[in-house]
Amino acid sequence: MSLDRRANEIERIVGELAREVPRELAIYLKDQFEKFLPQILGHSTKAEMRVVLDASSAVAEVRAFVKKGDSVLVRLANEPFLKLYAPPEIVPEVENRLREIASKEKLNFQRLLDVWKTRLLPLVVVQRPESMGAWFKGMIIMGERDIKDVPYVALSFDFETHGVITQDRDMLDQPQIRTWRMGKVRQVVTVMKKGSLMFVASSELLFPLLIAIFQATISLLKAIYDFVMDVARAISQAIKDAIGEIEKMPDLVKLALLLVAAWVLTRPGVMDQLRTAADTVARFVREFIDAIRGIINFLAPLIEIPIAVTLILLKDIGEALVELQSLSSNA
């Protein structure tokens, strides 16, 4: 399997793990990641997305949950990486809109109301904007378009949130307001969750394990290399020693040895025996090389997998840092 395919498979597994992380563990991951952020970003910050929820998005998510049994916001609202705010005006506005939807689409109003009050509203920090400057700014931007949107915009400015989750065209058309769709909110929260998971996993488990795997693999490869080199040096030294001893002999003895060697080689069957011996040596060398190649092929995944894991770790942590920088710069 190629390195890219391994990395893609590991990325898929990481995504599945991140989705299954329970809230208590997610809070721990977030806290540990936040302790690390000042060393990288140069300032302390929260690994969370802080946004104002407006009535249009709340109604749409409650409606989706009742009709489809699922809602992106209902699932995300319990994540510690997402903090939702809303002004008190959201409560009557949502209830009135839900009543209209129930009548128009023949839905159970009490069911809609229960989802709103039990699954979503408890996870929203309901707070009235306190800054007169924020109110004034909200009035300037939204007062002439829709006075009902002013508290949401004012709250966003007052709390220095990262924007407003909305489907309201009046707000979407205002460049002074940073607006969010649910798909992008889910993407940002998922990136921060994966980054936190990978940071804690790498610092507390994976990096020590990867280092141990690398050390064991390198040690084994070094042992194989040293063995091969020792054998090669021994053979080379034996040949050199034999040649050296022959060179020390008198010329007459050298001539005698040459004649004896020629006589031995011309005897019947000797050349066949030499060829057989050479074939045996060659076969041994081939088998030895194949054995070394088999060991290296076995070790290759042990090297590729840690490299792929490391690439995913750096990618997920880096993406989380980029999202946090982006949120901070536009808050």
Q: Compute CA distances 215 → 223, 233, 315, whole Å.
A: 12, 26, 24
Q: Enter the pTM of the model.
A: 0.66
User: Could you state, in order of their start, the residue ranges of all structural domains in the chain?
Assistant: 3-197, 200-320
pLDDT score, position 155 = 94
- Which of 73-82, 205-214, 219-228 comes out lowest in average pLDDT? 205-214
C-alpha radius of gyration, the chain, whole number: 36
Kindly state the helix (H) or strand (E) to which residue 104 belongs, with its residue range: helix 90-105
Token pair of 195 as six digits: 């980054």
Q: Burial level of 91, CB count in 10 A (0-12/13-18/19+)?
A: middle
Longest dimension (CA), the chain: 121
- Which of 92-106, 229-243, 289-303 comes out lowest in average pLDDT? 289-303
Cβ-contact 156, 327 below 8 angstroms: no
Kindly state the helix (H) or strand (E) to which residue 282 belongs, with its residue range: helix 270-330
Kindly state the helix (H) or strand (E) to which residue 253 belongs, with its residue range: helix 251-265
In CATH terms, 3-197 corresponds, of 1.20.1630.10, 3.30.505.10, 3.40.190.10, 3.40.50.1010, to 3.40.50.1010
Average per-residue pLDDT for the chain: 79
Each residue's pLDDT tens digit, 73-122: 988 888 899 999 999 999 999 999 999 999 999 999 999 999 999 989 98
